[in-house]
Amino acid sequence: MESAIAKAIQLKYQPVALLWSDEKLADAMQFSEGKWGCVMWLIVHAAKGKIAVADHSTFGCFGGGVGLGFGNQYKKFPGGEEGFCHFLSTGNAGRSGGMEIAEKIKPFMTRESHDHFLHGERYIKTPDLVEKFVANLPMMEIPTKYVVFKPLSDIDPAKEKPQTVIFFVNPDQLSALTVLANYGRGGNENVIIPYAAGCQTIGIYSYREAKSEKPRAVVGLTDLSARVYVRKQLGDSHLMTFSAPFALFEEMEQNVPGSFLERPTWQSLLSDH
């Protein structure tokens, strides 16, 4: 499947199709069972032209398991959901049993991760507020074994229907996609930026939007940790993700001809790159 959008905005990396499947594709990249990894690496792999998959045992990290739709994996975090609530906020060093848990898991963590477990990532002010953050996530259990990331160009629309299509975009391209998402809607709030992990904006938030009558696009990579990992993989510090549920993607594709993407203002922005 070729994308008129990708051509019109001169996308540097391939759009990525996220699919649900009960079949693991041959030669697909997959994390080892129980080993840590960032889901964003899988998406980057697909943006570079390869295929990647994840399942209930190979989603890389607890947030990634949540983000891809494998239920509430935070319950399995060291110290349970309470341990995660402290990890994302003030840290586990000061809570009852926190130091003991930290010592047990130290051999299995990087120095950075262990420091975060003890002293917190400080992304949310208090553990109580993290609890509310978790409660507000649109968690779900997908109905298939695998989440598959494929380059959109590898998709046969007669045989496969992605859940969502993910673009890695610079600020100008993000602006263009935001305009295009609203172009034929008669409304002006058809793109959202929820506070969530990078994988959650391309996964469960997009899944939720796909169920609505008029699904909205989801902007991501506001997750600072994910930005670090993506920058290491792509070497570009200016990228965001734009995830369009497939129905919205098809709508946007149909709206490219005759739109602002063919007019001088957009063309002038293209010429600056």
Q: For 35-82, how does the pLDDT look when each residue is reduced to its tens digit (9 = 90+)?
A: 889 999 999 999 999 999 999 999 999 999 999 999 999 999 999 999
- Per-residue model confidence (pLDDT) at position 271: 80
Position 240 scores a pLDDT of: 97
- Residues 128 and 57 occupy one common structural domain: no
The domain tally of the chain equals: 2
- Name the token pair of 250: 């098809």
Share of the chain above pLDDT 90, in %: 90
Residue 201: which of 152, 244, 172, 235 has the closest Cα?
Answer: 244
Has residue 67 been placed in a domain? no
pLDDT at position 27 = 87
The answer to whether position 66 is within a domain reads: no
Helix axes 111-119, 98-105, angle to 10 degrees: 170
Separation in Å, CA 269 to CA 59, 70, 176, 214: 38, 40, 10, 29
Q: What is the pLDDT of residue 11?
A: 96
Burial of 264 (0-12, 13-18, 19+ CB in 10 A): exposed
**Same-domain status, 96 and 126:** yes
Q: How many CB atoms lie within 10 A of CB 27?
A: 7
Q: Quote the crossing angle between the two packed helices 98-105 and 80-87, to the nearest 10°.
A: 90
State whether 108 and 221 are in the same domain. Answer: no
Residues 253 and 118 in one domain: no
Domain that holds residue 42: 4-61+141-271
Q: What percent of the chain has pLDDT above 70?
A: 99
Tell me whether residue 186 is in a domain.
Answer: yes
Residue 107 lies in a domain: yes
> What pLDDT is stored for residue 16 in this prediction?
98
pLDDT for position 26: 81
Three-state DSSP state, 162: coil
Query: Do 115 and 140 contact (CB within 8 A), yes or no?
Result: no
> Which of these three, 84, 113, 136, is where a domain ends?
136
Domain end, chosen from 95, 118, 136, is at 136
* Distance from C-alpha of 263 to C-alpha of 258, rounded to nearest angstrom: 9
Residues of the chain with pLDDT under 70: 273
Residue closest to 65 by CA, chosen among 86, 42, 89, 90: 42
Place of tokens 């009558």: 213
User: In this predicted structure, what is the pLDDT of residue 273?
Assistant: 64
Q: Cα separation of 102 and 119, whole Å?
A: 11
